[in-house]
Amino acid sequence: MAGKNTQELRINQNSNNFGNDLSTAVETNESHLLILEDDQGRKEFTLENPVYSLGRDRESNIRLVSQFVSRRHATLVRLPRYNNTQSYYYRIVDGDGQGKPSANGFIINGRKMPAHDLKNEDEIVFGPKIRAIYYLLKNTQRSGQTDASEYDITLINPSMTDDIEEI
């Protein structure tokens, strides 16, 4: 019973500080990305919301397609970084986020654990052939600024390629 209460505390701690404000990713110049591989192939998710449910259930925010995954396998929770109120990280917690664990748990970077604060390139294994990699991308440009090379577009006339092949 103590484990259940501890898990609830892990999720609820400071999880409402950002509400539904999606502007924090823009302000911090960070992007949170989850690359998922399951029975249907590879999918990419940009993480912006405060909470995500992961599992086999059709109602999950991030659906894991595999018979080896629980309906409510894990929960991602966005939490503020202690040294910077504009920056945040994601914590993954086993189960539905209300204290009910998944059947088999998950493995982070080769170690089975009930919860983990995600860091860049952490690998999460949910079951056989079901895994995800978390990326924390630091954007080097501030919003509103663009690089001139972004607009450097070279157009090639299709007739030019015919001439090259004939030579």
Q: Give the sign of the dihedral formed by CA 20, CA 44, CA 114, CA 66.
A: positive
Tens of pLDDT along the chain (167 residues) come to: 444 444 444 454 443 333 334 443 435 588 999 999 998 999 999 999 999 999 999 999 999 999 999 999 999 999 998 876 678 999 999 999 888 999 999 999 999 999 999 999 999 999 999 999 999 998 754 444 445 555 555 566 666 555 545 54
Query: Distance (Å, rounded) from C-alpha 66 to C-alpha 129?
Result: 9
Determine if the pTM surpasses 0.85.
Answer: no
Residue 36: is it exposed, middle or buried by C-beta count within 10 angstroms (0-12/13-18/19+)? buried
